[in-house]
């Protein structure tokens, strides 16, 4: 394992490793950039095949948090933590407390939150041994779960893209295809249907298909969703949904969904632009969760959280306009805007 030669090392400020013999904890925290504030990002627990996979993941994810928070106008840097292990087998109270001590030892340079493989209940245990934990408030509309806020941001982003492409954000009879009816996807279905959209959803999990159907979506096959003839495609499952093969079959004029790392690589962003498809960069449109987590820590009101999330629409519109004017993909434009903010330390609140 080499940190500095990893393909995902990008001038990260801090990479810290922890082993706790008693609980079996093996974890890595990465702080990518803290120019705008302390690094905030989730703590993922996953049975990585080896140390290199865990390191690559934490380097990649912490970098994207820097971009996400900068574009969301939050006074935060980018960080992430990974725990190596199977959450269904290796998670224990002792392990989570040891993780908390690890985070506490970093003195506030990294603030943790929920991520895949960890729950709000786990975060509450981590918070027993660290004060640098966010997203554990019982109050608020959703009791610490960020996914409804992420869905809210995606909903605003879809409307911004419709307005930019068609001149109207009206969702009545707009057809939206959603890949992945999990926590975010299902909230998104409800928000869209409330405003009159027709929603088509696919999920590999039959129970989640059933829940999506109950929420009002029409269920279609997983291998048909990306090429489905809809107005909007919302990838809300796993990363790299848009790759060299799938980018050519997309029929929707807008791609706007929650999944992280939707583009397999930058070439797909450019290909979408060439095909005249408006792509809402994932690290902008899915910032609702981090905005909620930030306000929970700052003890902001639910009104300020919602107002800030609604501001994602204006930021995305700026990206669409700059992309159209420059002929550069929306993803590249958004990365440039983020760098303007965190490299120059310019903090611009979006709402």
* 3-class state of residue 113 by DSSP: strand
Is beta strand 254-255 parallel, antiparallel or unpaired with respect to 278-279?
parallel
Q: Is the Cβ of residue 34 or residue 150 nearer to ligand NAI in the bound state?
A: 150
Q: Is the Cβ of residue 6 or residue 205 nearer to ligand NAI in the bound state?
A: 205
Residue 183 makes contact with ligand NAI by CB under 6 A: yes
**295: Cβ contacts below 8 Å, ≥ 6 apart:** 301, 304, 305, 308
Tokens 């080896």 -> residue: 50
Residue 112 makes contact with ligand NAI by CB under 6 A: no
Q: List the interface residues with ligand NAI, window 127-166 (CB under 6 A).
A: 146-147, 150
Q: List the interface residues with ligand NAI, window 194-253 (CB under 6 A).
A: 202-205, 208, 222, 236-238
Output DSSP code: residue 196.
Answer: T
Reading the block at residue 134, the tokens are 């966010």
Nearest distance in Å: CB 24, ligand NAI? 25
Output DSSP code: residue 263.
Answer: B
CA angle 119–146–40, rounded 5-degree value: 80
Nearest distance in Å: CB 344, ligand NAI? 26
Q: Is the Cβ of residue 25 or residue 247 nearer to ligand NAI in the bound state?
A: 247
Stretch that binds ligand NAI, among 19-27, 173-181, 297-305, 333-341 (CB under 6 A): 173-181
Residue nearest ligand NAI, CB atom distance:
182
Q: Is the Cβ of residue 1 or residue 249 nearer to ligand NAI in the bound state?
A: 249
Classify residue 73 as left (phi > 0), alpha (psi -120 to 50) or beta. Answer: left
* Nearest CA-CA partner of 283 in 41, 35, 13: 41
CA dihedral 70→74→75→76, nearest 10 degrees, is: -70
Residue 189 makes contact with ligand NAI by CB under 6 A: no
**DSSP calls for 317-340:** HHHHHHHHHHT--HHHHHHHHHHH
Rounded to the nearest 10 degrees, the angle between the axes of helix 147-166 and helix 183-194 is: 50
Residue 260 makes contact with ligand NAI by CB under 6 A: yes
Residue 173 burial (10 A CB sphere; 0-12, 13-18, 19+)? exposed
Stretch that binds ligand NAI, among 165-173, 245-253, 255-263, 342-350 (CB under 6 A): 255-263
Residue 27 makes contact with ligand NAI by CB under 6 A: no
Q: Is the Cβ of residue 18 or residue 60 nearer to ligand NAI in the bound state?
A: 60
In whole angstroms, what is the distance from residue 111 CA to residue 290 CA? 12
Nearest distance in Å: CB 166, ligand NAI? 25
In whole angstroms, what is the distance from residue 125 CA to residue 128 CA? 5
Binding track over 271-290 against ligand NAI, x by CB under 6 A: ---------------x--x-
Residue 100 makes contact with ligand NAI by CB under 6 A: no
Q: Is the Cβ of residue 179 or residue 329 nearer to ligand NAI in the bound state?
A: 179
Residue 256 makes contact with ligand NAI by CB under 6 A: no
Q: Is the Cβ of residue 100 or residue 182 nearer to ligand NAI in the bound state?
A: 182
* Nearest CA-CA partner of 285 in 191, 176, 133, 161: 161
Nearest distance in Å: CB 319, ligand NAI? 18
Catalytic residues: 80
Residue 113 makes contact with ligand NAI by CB under 6 A: no
Number of residues counted as binding ligand NAI (CB under 6 A): 24
In whole angstroms, what is the distance from residue 309 CA to residue 77 CA? 18
Reading the block at residue 189, the tokens are 């279905």
Nearest distance in Å: CB 333, ligand NAI? 20
List contacts with ligand NAI (CB under 6 A): 146-147, 150, 179-185, 202-205, 208, 222, 236-238, 258-260, 286, 289
């Amino acid at each position: 394992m080499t940190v500095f030669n990893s393909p995902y090392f990008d001038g990260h400020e801090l990479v810290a490793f922890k082993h706790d013999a008693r609980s079996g904890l093996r974890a890595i925290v990465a702080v990518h950039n803290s120019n705008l504030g302390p690094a905030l990002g989730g703590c993922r627990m996953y049975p990585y095949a080896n140390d290199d996979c865990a390191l690559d993941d934490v380097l990649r994810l912490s970098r994207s948090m820097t971009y996400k928070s900068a574009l969301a106008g939050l006074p935060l840097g980018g960080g992430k933590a990974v725990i190596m292990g199977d959450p269904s087998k290796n998670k224990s109270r002792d392990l989570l407390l040891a993780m908390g001590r690890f985070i506490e030892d970093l003195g506030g340079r990294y603030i943790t939150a929920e991520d895949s493989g960890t729950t709000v209940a786990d975060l509450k245990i981590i918070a027993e041994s660290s004060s640098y934990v966010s997203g554990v408030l019982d109050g608020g509309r959703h009791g610490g779960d960020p996914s409804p806020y992420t869905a809210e941001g995606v909903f605003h982003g879809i409307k911004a893209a419709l307005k930019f492409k068609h001149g109207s954000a009206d969702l009545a009879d707009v057809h939206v295809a959603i890949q992945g009816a999990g926590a975010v996807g299902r909230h998104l279905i409800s928000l869209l249907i409330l405003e009159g959209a027709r929603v088509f959803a696919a999920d590999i999990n039959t129970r989640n298909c059933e829940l999506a159907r109950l929420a009002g979506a029409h269920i279609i096959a997983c291998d048909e969703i990306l090429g489905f003839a809809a107005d909007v495609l919302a990838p809300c499952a796993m990363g790299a949904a848009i790759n060299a093969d799938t980018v050519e079959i997309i029929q929707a004029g807008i791609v706007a969904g929650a999944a992280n790392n939707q583009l397999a690589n930058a070439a797909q962003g450019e290909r979408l632009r060439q095909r005249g498809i408006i792509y809402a960069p994932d690290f902008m449109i899915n910032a609702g969760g981090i905005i909620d987590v930030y306000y929970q820590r700052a003890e902001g009101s639910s009104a300020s959280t919602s107002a800030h999330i609604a501001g994602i629409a204006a930021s995305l519109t700026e990206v669409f306009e700059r992309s159209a004017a420059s002929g550069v993909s929306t993803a590249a434009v958004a990365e440039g805007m983020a760098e303007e903010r965190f490299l120059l330390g310019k903090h611009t609140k979006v709402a």
